[in-house]
Structure 1
Amino acid sequence: MKISYLLSFLLALTVISVSGQQTGIEKQAVMIENQSSFGFTETMEVLSKTIAEKGWKITTIHDLQETMKKNGKEVLPVKVIELCNPAHAFGILSKDEYRDVSPMLPCRISVYEKSDGNTYVSRMNAPAFAAMIGGDAAATMVKAYNETEEMLRLVIQ
């Protein structure tokens, strides 16, 4: 049964990705992007502080601009914050039937600049995926998403 959920998930991603490339509309079903009210550095600072204040943990910050620079490529600033709420993660990782969802952990928020000079934040639309996963894992994903959205309200327009 879990394999059928996974296959449905992968098929939906494929359809949405292909459709999004053609129209630009369906892509939003998978990813959510908002412009930040702040510049890049301040957005990172506000998010880092808020994440800690809400009891979440930043496990890693990937500096993709720096990674690209090390490989001889120049891109505008982009950092991916991996954040975790240990209680939420435990609810998924402590049950064998939900461990297959572990590739979606931890939650991720991307902060980046675009060529228009503005800073943006993006993240996965977890509720869209949760429906395909079902059960307690889906409920946990939606709860984590809602908490993350609350943190993002401090920076998005």
Structure 2
Amino acid sequence: MTNHSMAKNLIVFLIALVLGIGGTLYIIRINLATLLVTEIESPLDFDETLVHIESKAKEIGWKVPRKWKANFQKNFNKIVGKDIGPMRLLKMCEPFIAADLLISDENKYLSVMMPCTFAVYQKSDGKVYVAMMNLKLVGMALGGDVVPAMEKAWPDMLKMVKFN
């Protein structure tokens, strides 16, 4: 093979590599929101959805303190005078998973993601939705002790939003 053909092959390879990496990054970027946050349509009305998630959480041993509930609709209406529609956040915790993670100094930064949060809201189409972080993906991204913890928490969260 001549130097000219080797250089030509190298250029073609580098162009293909750059296009492949660029294409992959573009696809990740446009899909990132749906990868990080899971949105599920609820067949129940707004209040029934809140009750359903909370009761499922308690059934499987999660803690849902009353003080961890946030009424975004009420708060935004009061503070900025805008009605964003029905929206509440349910914050809950599986205390054993959380404690096992947070006991280590290397994992204390994870407290920023705790407690786990479910957003329940009604869109202008009248339908009720539940959104939650995809903890399985977060665990994979962070690695280490987070992986097994999120592998325990994620199936529980999916049970809470199973409506049938």
Runs of 4+ that moved beyond 4 A? none
Structure 2 length-normalised TM: 0.77
SS for the counterpart of 1:88 is helix
The counterpart of 2:88, out of the listed 65, 79, 83, is 79
**1:68 is the counterpart of 2:76:** yes
How much identity, in percent, do the aligned residues show?
30
Matches within 5 A, 1:1-157: 19-20=29-30, 25-59=31-65, 60-71=68-79, 72-154=81-163
Equivalent AA in structure 1 for residue 54 of structure 2: S
Structure 1 residue 154: Cα displacement: 2.7
Gaps of 5+ in 1: 1-14
Tell me the distance in 1 between the aligned counterparts of 2:136 and 2:69: 24
Q: Which moved more, 1:129-138 or 1:67-76?
A: 129-138
Q: Deviations over 1:102-153 (max 9, x none)?
A: 1111111110000000000010111222112112222102211111111211
Q: Which has the larger radius of gyration?
A: 2
Secondary structure at the aligned position of 1:135 is classed as coil
Given that 2:69 and 2:88 are in contact with CA atoms closer than 8 Å, whether structure 1 keeps it comes out as yes
Aligned mates of 2:36, 2:92 — CA distance in 1? 19
Contact 1:91 1:137 in 2 (8 A): no
- What is the TM-score when the length of structure 1 is the normalising length? 0.80
Alignment root-mean-square deviation, CA: 1.8
Q: Distance in 2 between matches of 1:145 and 1:136?
A: 15
**Cα offset, 1:91, TM superposition:** 0.9
Name the count of aligned residue pairs: 136
Question: 1:52 and 1:150 mapped to 2: Cα distance?
Answer: 11
- SS in structure 2 opposite 1:33? strand
CA contact (8 A) 1:68 1:74 kept: yes
Distance 1:98 1:92 in 2: 6
Tell me the amino acid that sits aligned with residue 125 of structure 2: D
